Structure 1
Amino acid sequence: MPRSEISLDDIDHDLLAVLQRDADQTLSALGERIGLSPSAVQRRITRLKKHGVIARTVVELAPEATSDLILAVCVVTLDRESNERHERFQHRLLDAPEVQQVYMVSGDWDYVVVFATHGMAHHNEVTGRLLSDAPNVRRYTTLFVLKPVRTGNALPTRQAG
């Protein structure tokens, strides 16, 4: 759901920070953390979802749970640029379950793509299919993740200071 205008108060910011760290808590536990009753927490969560502030609730898997998992970051440059070519390239990546994140960026590269694959053979198959065989990819470089130092997707909800 697209985000509509909503004014967030301090309690909303606190609730969002707690949910981004661990959304698998009871309403009672959330309420204790932010000083609200469980029903008040539920009303706020419902409001935040309705206005598109909370996009979805997902389970984050531990990468170390799969011994052959390879994480790779690829930077990609397209051969020719147009809105249609960008849309085609993006759509190609969105359909692939191995693609974890895609960012259109400024600078010498057009995209940063994060892949999660099972072993080097799978990685080569995926990047071959999605990048090497793509009609509009000029070049790409792969950086293999040796050690995840910090992962996550929590966003700040207010400015520091």
Structure 2
Amino acid sequence: MPANLDDTDHRLLELLQHDSGRTLAALGELVGLSPSAVQRRIDRYRANGLLLREIAVLDPSPVLLAVCLVTLDQESPETHTRFREWVLAAPEVQQFYNVSGEHDYVVVLATTDMRHHRETAERVIKNAPHLRRYSTMFVLDPVRTTLTVPTRGN
């Protein structure tokens, strides 16, 4: 987070992360600013690259989520680049993390049903370049999902 954010910026960013569909007037009421002042701050967040985009968040309950733990067979930059490009080409990849520890990557797949999952796992994970092994865990109950990031420490 940029160091030059004040308390109003932090509050406004928190509000936007929870519901960016609020009107400028409603946001202004909650942070004590006029609608035009709120708009100027939002424009500044966009210009500085802090606010990347505004999206619609759909209910994930009808979606089958699977967490795949992936280990590659080599540790070269080229291996990782090729694997990343392969996985990123799939629209079913909801989240994708390079991690430390026993595995190299965590890939979260979002599919419509088990048939779709099998096809996607085969195409995206099993046939990926430089795959040594992978394991899959299906999400039974998404206890907490969020897209928010903290704007400041405690």
TM-score (norm: length of structure 2): 0.96
Flag as ranges the 4+ runs of structure 1 deviating above 2 A: none
- State the shift of 1:135 in Å: 2.4
| Structure 2 residue 18 is the aligned partner of structure 1 residue 21 | yes
- State the shift of 1:100 in Å: 0.3
Amino acid at match of 1:76: V
Q: Is the 8 A contact 1:71 1:117 kept in 2?
A: yes
- State the shift of 1:87 in Å: 1.1
- State the shift of 1:91 in Å: 1.1
CA distance, structure 2, for counterparts of residue 89 and residue 59 of structure 1: 29
Q: Which runs of 5+ in 1 are unaligned?
A: none
Aligned counterpart, 2:49 = 52
- Name which of 124, 127, 149 aligns with 2:121: 127
Amino acid at match of 1:135: P
| Structure 2 residue 152 is the aligned partner of structure 1 residue 158 | yes
Aligned counterpart, 1:148 = 142
The 3-state SS of whatever aligns with 1:73 is strand
Aligned counterpart, 1:118 = 112
Backbone CA RMSD of aligned residues: 1.3
Show CA shifts across 1:84-117 (max 9, x none): 1111111112111100000100000000111100
CA distance, structure 2, for counterparts of residue 103 and residue 133 of structure 1: 18
Show CA shifts across 1:35-88 (max 9, x none): 100000000000011001111111111012x3xx21111110001111111111
Aligned counterpart, 2:35 = 38
Amino acid at match of 1:33: L
CA distance, structure 1, for counterparts of residue 84 and residue 131 of structure 2: 12
TM-score (norm: length of structure 1): 0.92
- Name which of 95, 100, 107 aligns with 2:94: 100
Q: Which runs of 5+ in 2 are unaligned?
A: none
Identity of aligned residues (%): 55
- State the shift of 1:155 in Å: 0.3
The 3-state SS of whatever aligns with 1:81 is coil
Q: Is the 8 A contact 1:6 1:51 kept in 2?
A: no
CA distance, structure 2, for counterparts of residue 56 and residue 90 of structure 1: 23
- Name which of 67, 86, 90 aligns with 2:84: 90
CA distance, structure 1, for counterparts of residue 137 and residue 74 of structure 2: 24
